[in-house]
Amino acid sequence: DTEVTQTPKHLVMGMTNKKSLKCEQHMGHRAMYWYKQKAKKPPELMFVYSYEKLSINESVPSRFSPECPNSSLLNLHLHALQPEDSALYLCASSQGPDSYYGYTFGSGTRLTVV
Amino acid sequence: AQRVTQPEKLLSVFKGAPVELKCNYSYSGSPELFWYVQYSRQRLQLLLRHISRESIKGFTADLNKGETSFHLKKPFAQEEDSAMYYCALLGSGNTGKLIFGQGTTLQVKP
């Protein structure tokens, strides 16, 4: 299995809802990432998990809460989002945080906040 | 500061023409550089790593430390090469952070 799988593919949520995005990989990668991508813009790093520990939080608002239950899974819990949070949320993984082999990206969850 | 610059937002060429997508970086030390490609409605995919000096889909990229560049080249463009291309730099400090350029849309016309 050489893929990063993200669910759901699309999500519409109200500003008072609580939802979660899920990401899974079975490549034995020990670093996992959440990125946010707006249309026609590069991905922006949100969080890095390295060996299941949160190593980077790029000053992301607390309405986004990451969780890494084990080395294969990464979640992003969403609560009280704003319409400007609508974007494509990408999960990625790499062998380690210093991997010059590059990342493997998932296909993303397209989130719309109404 | 660690930074990646892709000066062209859009590059439009005809099929069969040579292509060069420019990427310049700012980094102290030896950089780890990548090219990623995003086809329409598809996931972001790794195209090339500078460390492996490989050729994928006819694309090559050479690291030029003197000019701090990592330009992506292909001698004969194909219509299926039309996509968004991102140059990316692995940040220092063992953080795993990828620093992306703003991207260049390559449009190959028939």
Query: For B28-62, how does the pLDDT look when each residue is reduced to its tens digit (9 = 90+)?
Result: 888 999 999 999 888 999 999 888 777 888 999 98
Q: Which two tokens stand for residue A89?
A: 């949320």
Query: Within a 13 Å sphere around the CA of B101, how many CA atoms are in the beta-carbon half?
Result: 29
pLDDT bracket for residue A40 (50, 70, 90): confident
| Amino acid B24: pLDDT | 97
pLDDT in tens, B62-83: 899 999 999 999 999 999 999 9
CA angle B88, A48, B101 (to 5 degrees): 20
**What is the rounded distance in angstroms from the CA atom of residue B61 to the CA atom of residue B22?**
10
pLDDT of A83 > 80? The answer is: yes
- Interface test mutation site (partner A, options B40, B44, B95, max chain A beta carbons within 10 A): B44
Taking the CA atoms of residue A25, residue A31, residue A37 and residue A43 in that order, the dihedral angle to the nearest 10 degrees is -130
- Tell whether B56 is within 8 A of chain A (Cβ): no
CA distance B38 to chain A (A): 10
User: Residue B28 is encoded by which pair of tokens?
Assistant: 């102290």
Question: What is the length of chain A?
Answer: 114
% of chain A surpassing 70 pLDDT: 99
Is B8 a residue whose pLDDT tops 90?
yes
Average pLDDT over residues A63-77: 95
The whole-chain average pLDDT of chain A stands at: 93
